[in-house]
Amino acid sequence: MRRGDVRAALLALLHEQPRNGYQLIQAVAERSGGHWRPSPGSVYPALSQLEEEGLVAVTGTGADRRCHLTEAGRAFVAAHEDRVNEPWRAAARLLPERAVEVRHALDGLTAAVTQVTAAGTDDQLTRAGRVLDAARRDVYRILADDDTAADA
């Protein structure tokens, strides 16, 4: 994403409703269809800068901490609506839809691996390791246009 896109995305999302930093990161990923997930290292400094500029105010503490637009922030969003909504258009151009589907499949696989490593028996861990090794080899075969890769 381009410089300033995090800032613009945060303003657009806070224009809809107050949120905490984690909720903003999740909302960016959702709104961009999974194409873009900004890191906390880019979101929290951007929020601090927006707060320093008087565009965002923070209320609450701990789990109740929420960021919301100030009057100046709402005026800024209204005056720069095209720029504030540009990150969603840019995110849509990042990856083809099929690539997003593959990444979602990987997210599901990661969740399953997390579960088996947390609760699996020795036999289940061994079997999961074999499946993952085979999957890695098959993905490389696909990339090499090797017809022996399993097309599932």
pLDDT at 38: 87
* Domain over 5-94 is classified CATH 1.20.1060.10: no
Short-list 89, 13, 117, 102, CA closest to 55: 13
pTM confidence score: 0.59
pLDDT, position 41:
92
Whole-angstrom CA distances from 21 to 14, 84, 113, 122 are 11, 18, 27, 39
Q: What mean pLDDT do residues 40-52 have?
A: 94
Residue bearing the bigger pLDDT, 6 or 86:
6
Q: What DSSP element (H or E) covers 136? A: helix 122-143
Chain centroid to Cα 93, Å, comes to 15
CA distance 63 to 78: 29
Band (pLDDT 50/70/90 cuts) for residue 1 is: low
**What average pLDDT score do residues 100-123 get?**
88
Nearest to 76 by CA among 136, 14, 140: 14
Report whether pLDDT(152) > 90: no
pLDDT digits (tens, 9 = 90+) for 114-126: 999 999 999 999 9
> Which of the two residues, 88 and 68, has the higher pLDDT score?
68
Spatial contact of 28 and 9, defined as CB atoms under 8 Å apart: yes
Domain borders along the chain are 5-94, 98-143
Is a pLDDT exceeding 90 seen at residue 35?
no
What is the 3-state secondary structure of 27-84? HHHHHCCCCCCCCHHHHHHHHHHHHHCCCEEEECCHHHCEEEECHHHHHHHHHCHHHH
Mean confidence (pLDDT) of the chain: 86
The whole-number pLDDT of residue 62 equals: 80
Instruction: Point out the least confidently predicted range of 92-106, 107-121, 123-137.
Output: 92-106
